[in-house]
Structure 1
């Protein structure tokens, strides 16, 4: 009798704990809203895509779309070989043509001058909606006039410019802020939302009060940084920043294969955001921005 009573009390204690701590008894979150991952590096083309999908499926995920890049890290496109860049862009565009879930993210190098502008116009004609530029690994200066000419051309063609913003280089966010002001006809997505310098972007609400500085052309992907912020001492400030820059300006990104989509979604789910805000970040904002 005593043993039965002890077991009953233990059961009641577990139920009470679960009610007070729902995460303790909950299974991994199931997302009933579409997921679009803007930041996927396919270093080995179709094989990398199969591996990405297998990893997602093993975590119970089936993203409706992904922004696919053939480059990243040591594979980044360098200046001086526009023919190689063209060939790689064509391979990516060809792969995406047979897979409606894949949005090809091509690239050029601003220091290739007219060749880069010509390639940008060519790939835009082939349906490319986004290009990715990475100042650190492509070794270009964000203040260089050749970059400004390139991103302004992208704006004229309706091509979104995705740029690294992990603050690997000092002054990264400040330089990108200035670029977005000088090219307000171009839509930018700044990847990693500034890394651990995400605080800088809280300037946007103030900047937008200035006449002629709506800065509605600035978006962010939260890849990487969301993993650092979730369940950390800076989480509350990170959420405050997300709302300051505007929930409608945020896009999900994993930065695969360096980071996984499952871990990114789990980190986002931990943030103190509403279900509606999370749904916009998971896929709603990307579908609107890219006309998907």
Structure 2
């Protein structure tokens, strides 16, 4: 049982985060809507909660900032600003966002940000308004894999059948590594299929990872908790990453929720940092 179980459960019931000792933590899901000022807010929130991120993945996309089709110049400007911010903040891993409908222009921008050192591409079918089965999505994620970028895709169950479509996307592009954010939301049970997919010879490249942001807050200390932990084990503890989805949720609350789950400390440590270190090649 996690050493954070009791304080975490109390904090969750009160809607606050406990003060946690510093641990190696990588937060893969941070939205910096307002650049440096959002980063300052993120750090201040973590300080208030008594937590610290050894590293974090940060994107400009989200909230008031949208990667709209036809605005590739806006994406370029945002990426350049994010690259400058990352250069001044070595713990930050910049996350790119382009719109699949921009076709060749999106692919060219992906090539450019890969050369700048970006490690992750974030796309969001609901907010950006595209179909996961669109061939332009396939071309984009294929290029991302070829350039060594991990593709982070929203998987909160907002888009009908997004889990099915994401599974098929991963099957069709075995050379690309995917992180599906929120692990399906309240449809997380569907991902137990991975335990069977791994037994099918030649079917699955085992290229799917998940961040557990937001969903872990619902599952911890709830009737869903045992099923959620069962699903975590079926998809593979080595395939799970921690994400806060700041500013909607805090890193402190997310760590408290993770600590409330019935996981061995060795497994929780992998989720907090170890798996991200391996996936993103962190120092």
Give TM-score, length-normalised by structure 1: 0.90
Are the counterparts in 1 of residues 22 and 51 from structure 2 also a CA contact under 8 Å? no
In structure 1, what is the Cα distance between the partners aligned to 2:6 and 2:275?
A: 27
Equivalent of 2:134, from 144, 156, 161?
A: 144
The residue aligned with 2:96 is 106
The residue aligned with 1:164 is 154
Q: What does residue range 1-292 of structure 1 map to in structure 2 within 5 Å?
A: 23=6, 28=18, 30-31=20-21, 33-292=23-282
Alpha-carbon shift at residue 29 of structure 1 (Å): 6.1
In structure 2, what is the Cα distance between the partners aligned to 1:53 and 1:276?
A: 26
Are the counterparts in 2 of residues 249 and 285 from structure 1 also a CA contact under 8 Å? yes
Greater relative CO (CA pairs within 8 A, separation 6+) = 2
Alpha-carbon shift at residue 261 of structure 1 (Å): 0.5
Are the counterparts in 2 of residues 35 and 64 from structure 1 also a CA contact under 8 Å? yes
Instruction: Give 3-state SS (helix, strand or coil) of 2:41's partner.
Output: helix
Distance change >3 Å, CA 114–CA 204, structure 1 → 2? same
- For structure 1, which runs of at least 5 residues remain unmatched after alignment? 1-21
Aligned pairs, how many? 271
In structure 2, what is the Cα distance between the partners aligned to 1:61 and 1:73?
A: 24
Deviations 1:202-241 (A, max 9, x none): 0001011111123321000000000000000010000000
In structure 1, what is the Cα distance between the partners aligned to 2:21 and 2:235?
A: 24
In structure 1, what is the Cα distance between the partners aligned to 2:19 and 2:63?
A: 32
Alpha-carbon shift at residue 56 of structure 1 (Å): 0.2
Are the counterparts in 2 of residues 52 and 256 from structure 1 also a CA contact under 8 Å? yes
Deviations 1:104-138 (A, max 9, x none): 00111110000000000010011111010000000
Alpha-carbon shift at residue 146 of structure 1 (Å): 0.5
Larger Rg: 1
Are the counterparts in 2 of residues 36 and 283 from structure 1 also a CA contact under 8 Å? yes
Give TM-score, length-normalised by structure 2: 0.93
Are the counterparts in 1 of residues 19 and 49 from structure 2 also a CA contact under 8 Å? no
In structure 1, what is the Cα distance between the partners aligned to 2:7 and 2:110?
A: 50
Alpha-carbon shift at residue 74 of structure 1 (Å): 3.7
> Once structures 1 and 2 are overlaid, which stretch shifts more, 238-247 or 61-70?
61-70
Instruction: Give 3-state SS (helix, strand or coil) of 2:209's partner.
Output: strand
Q: Where in structure 1 do 4 or more consecutive aligned residues deviate above 6 Å?
A: 24-27
- For structure 2, which runs of at least 5 residues remain unmatched after alignment? 12-17
Distance change >3 Å, CA 230–CA 259, structure 1 → 2? same
Are the counterparts in 2 of residues 73 and 137 from structure 1 also a CA contact under 8 Å? no
Distance change >3 Å, CA 249–CA 280, structure 1 → 2? same
The residue aligned with 2:14 is none
In structure 1, what is the Cα distance between the partners aligned to 2:94 and 2:226?
A: 34
Instruction: Give 3-state SS (helix, strand or coil) of 1:214's partner.
Output: coil
Are the counterparts in 1 of residues 55 and 93 from structure 2 also a CA contact under 8 Å? yes
